[in-house]
């Protein structure tokens, strides 16, 4: 199993992005001996960055880390359109591995969550996708049956699961294919 570090994003006191501070964090993680970096997840404060800042951070992460470790870029957004747009930007910068939080803030049906991931998966193409399950933050859960459906998408390779009890994780593990 790989150890992936969830990387924080650096901000200045006034709340503006500190790209050089973020580069320093990326370099520190790059020297950690871990196998990968998870960029712009919850720890990376993804809701606090706009598209221009997202582009700068992903570019810096790939520049600082891609030759040393895997870089998984989080692209989850409330809307499919925005998530696909971030996929396209990150792909253009060289990203090949992605994670996407379920759509958040507004309640979604399982079918709409599946369609969101189908569209993100199609945008990713030959890349790898992790389903990011964090119902405490997104407001949307993923049932084991839905995760089985999502696992059938051609580039879904795993799940990032946050703040769920071990029983829920065991239910996912029991339901999805071994690979």
* Residue positions annotated with a catalytic role: 132, 160
Burial of 171 (0-12, 13-18, 19+ CB in 10 A): middle
Angle, alpha carbons 25-14-16 (nearest 5°): 55
Half-sphere exposure of 38 (CA within 13 A, CB side): 22
Beta strands in the chain (DSSP E): 4-7, 36-39, 70-74, 97-101, 128-133, 156-161
Given a contact cutoff of 8 angstroms between Cβ atoms, the answer to whether 134 and 42 are in contact is yes
Secondary structure (3-state) at 42: coil
> Which phi and psi (to 5°) does residue 178 adopt?
-60, -30
């Amino acid at each position: 199993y790989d150890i992936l570090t969830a990387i924080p994003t650096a901000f200045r006191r006034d709340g503006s992005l500190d790209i050089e501070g973020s580069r320093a964090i990326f370099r520190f993680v790059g020297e950690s001996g871990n196998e990968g970096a998870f960029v712009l997840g919850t720890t990376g404060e993804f809701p606090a960055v706009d598209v221009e800042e997202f582009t700068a951070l992903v570019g810096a992460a790939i520049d600082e880390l891609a030759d040393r470790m895997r870089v998984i870029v989080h692209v989850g957004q409330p809307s499919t359109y925005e998530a696909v747009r971030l996929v396209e930007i990150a792909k253009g910068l060289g990203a090949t591995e992605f994670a996407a939080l379920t759509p958040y803030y507004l309640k979604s049906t399982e079918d709409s969550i599946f369609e969101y991931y189908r569209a993100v998966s199609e945008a990713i193409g030959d890349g790898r996708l992790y389903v990011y399950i964090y119902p405490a933050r997104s407001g949307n859960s993923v049932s084991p049956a839905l995760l089985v459906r999502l696992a059938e998408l051609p580039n879904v390779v795993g799940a990032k699961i946050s703040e769920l009890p071990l029983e829920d994780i065991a239910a996912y593990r029991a339901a999805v294919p071994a690979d």
